[in-house]
């Protein structure tokens, strides 16, 4: 059964609807990529786009206006 | 032809997979099946397998809002999508299947001076590159679509629009089935409920796929996957310029068959058309956070319905019948990614974001030509994966329809 609303727990404000937040992606360029040019291309254009648990940042725009760190499973939107 | 009465589609399902195929296509959606179809019909390559993890057309091919158009913002894209519009126009005759293809005309509304400039630019670049789009003023808009409130409820006034007469819709399942049937008739093997769990590699070259039913060898592996392409590519050690976002849509109960065009608005972040059954079909922008979940939610419905009602007040009297979600592979520059990769024997057709359904015929035709000739056709050369490293991105965000 699909959940009807993704909620995030802000450590400052409590549990809030996801609409209050702006998504922020953390860089995922692998350390194994050592060539400087290839790293630049990867940082500029490539995404981890993980299917599973990810660590990401959210900015609480309509709240405390602070960045929070969230662990989420992208297959289910479950907050970990 | 009465579109509701026709011969039964005959899909010849294979029982067991061969040990190896010339071409293995991962993903039995529109793009995968169209590529198989054009490989068989145009190039005589029939030793092809299409592997679908669920049922054919059950992913994003069955979740989109079925709009076909070529009014893009950069020359390379206009030419590519115009090819698709042309192929769609004759696809019913070619496949001898009723696809419920209907040319409706598409209005792209401008709500501001910046919007007017954008729509004028769109009309100019479309005309220059072989698509037909003209700029129209509010009285002409009212003539094309009498239901539009030109005041936009006082919030989103309609200042003008670009009008793309070739804008059309087709029944998405039927497109998938028509391609599947045509490919299967010529000997292509399509397997449902067959998920790819790994790629077999030999000296840096992809030589086959691993499935629940065992190993299948392949001369070439094409990922035509929607939504999970990053996972497939990572099996070959590739990283892609793709983020997967959900996109929601809904239909209302039936309205008299009186809404003829397709109406889109970047300002409102939505688009509306009427299905053959009479339901008003309304789609929206992608959800901001990447996700693979098919969750649908009330906040979207409220937001999207409210905005579309300002433009089309008659929607107020309708009820929402159902709502669903698909996942969109959004590329970094909002254009598709087609062709060879750094890994030999592994091709991708991805980045189909919010523009995948309309590209099915041209995408399939061009990828088939690429596989058959071992060379990238000119039409899709600008959309190769290496464009990012070459600093030749195809930035076209304004044509995604929803941004």
Q: Is residue A33 part of a domain?
A: yes
Q: Give the phi and the psi of residue B317 in degrees, each rounded to 5.
A: -85, 0
pLDDT digits (tens, 9 = 90+) for B201-258: 999 999 999 998 899 999 999 999 999 999 999 999 999 999 999 999 999 998 888 9
The pLDDT of residue A5 is above 70: no
pLDDT of residue B38: 98
pLDDT of residue B264: 95
Lookup: tokens for B203: 């000296």
Q: Are B50 and B190 in contact (CB under 8 A)?
A: yes
Full domain range(s) for residue A70? 7-79
Candidates 3.30.9.10, 3.50.50.60, 3.40.50.12280, 2.130.10.10; CATH matching B103-165+243-331: 3.30.9.10
pLDDT digits (tens, 9 = 90+) for B43-62: 999 999 999 999 999 999 99
Residue B90 in contact with partner chain A when CB distance is under 8 A? no
Burial environment of residue B375 by CB neighbours within 10 A (0 to 12, 13 to 18, 19 or more) = exposed
Q: What is the dihedral of CA B366, B368, B374, B375, to 10 degrees?
A: 0
Domain with residues B20-65+172-241+333-399, CATH architecture: 3-Layer(bba) Sandwich (3.50)
What does the pLDDT average to over B344-350?
Answer: 97
Cβ–Cβ pairs < 8 A, chains A and B: 76
Whether A75 and B293 lie within 8 Å, measured CB to CB:
yes
Distance CA A43, CA B111 (A): 36
The pLDDT of residue B167 is above 60: yes
pLDDT digits (tens, 9 = 90+) for B2-15: 454 456 788 889 98
- Tell me the sheet residues that pair with B331: B242
pLDDT digits (tens, 9 = 90+) for B274-312: 999 999 999 988 888 899 999 888 888 998 999 999 999
The pLDDT of residue B86 is above 90: yes
Q: Is residue A39 part of a domain?
A: yes
Domain with CATH 3.30.9.10 in chain B: 103-165+243-331
- Which residue in A43, A47, A73 has the most chain B C-beta atoms within 10 A of its own C-beta, making it the best mutation to test that interface? A47
Domain at A53, CATH number: 3.30.2270.10
Confidence tier at A1 by pLDDT (50, 70, 90): very low
Region class of B361: left (phi > 0), else alpha (psi between -120 and 50), else beta: alpha
Q: Is residue A1 part of a domain?
A: no
| Number of domains forming the structure of chain A | 1
In the block, tokens 């391609």 appear at: B179
Among A2, A51, A75, the residue with its CB nearest the CB of B230 is: A51
Whether B291 and A41 lie within 8 Å, measured CB to CB:
no
Domain with CATH 3.50.50.60 in chain B: 20-65+172-241+333-399
- What ipTM describes this predicted complex? 0.91
pLDDT digits (tens, 9 = 90+) for A19-76: 899 999 898 999 999 999 999 999 999 999 999 999 999 999 999 999 999 999 999 9
Helical packing angle, B172-185 and B30-43, nearest 10°: 40
Burial environment of residue B35 by CB neighbours within 10 A (0 to 12, 13 to 18, 19 or more) = buried
Answer whether 0.80 is exceeded by the pTM.
yes
């Amino acid at each position: 059964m699909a959940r009807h609303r993704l909620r995030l727990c802000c450590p400052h404000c409590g549990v809030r609807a996801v609409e209050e937040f702006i998504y922020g992606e953390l860089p995922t360029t692998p350390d194994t990529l050592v060539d400087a040019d290839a790293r630049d291309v990867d940082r500029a254009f490539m995404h981890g786009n993980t299917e599973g648990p990810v660590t990401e940042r959210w900015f609480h725009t309509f709240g405390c206006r602070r960045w929070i760190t969230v662990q989420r499973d992208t297959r289910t939107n479950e907050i970990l | 032809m009465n579109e509701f009465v026709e011969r039964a589609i005959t899909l010849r399902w294979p029982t067991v997979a061969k040990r190896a195929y010339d071409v293995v296509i991962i993903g039995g959606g529109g793009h995968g099946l169209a590529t198989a179809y054009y490989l068989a019909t145009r190039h005589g390559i029939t030793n092809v397998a299409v592997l679908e993890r669920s049922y054919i057309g059950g992913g994003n091919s069955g979740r989109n809002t079925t709009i076909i158009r070529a009014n893009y913002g950069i020359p390379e894209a206009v030419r590519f999508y115009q090819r698709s519009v042309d192929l769609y126009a004759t696809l019913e005759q070619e496949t001898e299947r009723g696809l419920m293809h209907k040319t409706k005309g598409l209005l792209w509304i401008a709500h501001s001076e910046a919007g007017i400039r954008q729509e004028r630019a769109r009309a100019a670049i479309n005309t220059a590159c072989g698509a037909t789009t003209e700029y129209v003023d509010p009285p002409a808009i009212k003539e094309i679509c009498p239901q539009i409130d030109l005041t936009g409820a006082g919030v989103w006034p309609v200042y003008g629009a670009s009008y793309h007469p070739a804008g059309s819709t087709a029944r998405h399942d039927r497109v998938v089935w028509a391609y599947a049937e045509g490919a299967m008739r010529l000997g292509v093997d399509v397997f449902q409920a067959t998920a790819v769990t790994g790629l077999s590699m030999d000296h840096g070259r992809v030589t086959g796929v691993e499935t629940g039913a065992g190993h299948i060898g392949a001369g070439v592996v094409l990922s035509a996957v929607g939504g999970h392409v990053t996972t497939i590519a990572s099996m070959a050690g590739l990283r892609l310029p793709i983020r997967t976002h959900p996109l929601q849509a809904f239909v209302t109960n039936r309205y008299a068959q009186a809404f003829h065009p397709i109406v889109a608005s970047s300002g409102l972040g939505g688009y509306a058309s009427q299905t053959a059954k009479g339901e008003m079909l309304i789609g929206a922008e992608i959800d901001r956070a990447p996700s693979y979940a098919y969750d649908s939610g009330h906040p979207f419905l409220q937001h999207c319905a409210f905005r579309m009602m300002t433009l089309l007040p008659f929607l107020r009297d309708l009820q929402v019948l159902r709502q669903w979600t698909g996942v969109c592979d959004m590329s970094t520059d909002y254009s598709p990614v087609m062709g060879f990769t750094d890994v030999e024997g592994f091709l991708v057709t991805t980045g189909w974001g919010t523009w995948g359904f309309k590209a099915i015929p041209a995408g399939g035709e061009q990828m088939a030509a690429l596989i058959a000739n071992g060379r990238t056709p000119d039409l899709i050369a600008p959309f190769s994966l290496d464009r990012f490293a070459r600093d030749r991105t195809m930035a076209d965000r304004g044509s995604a329809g929803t941004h």
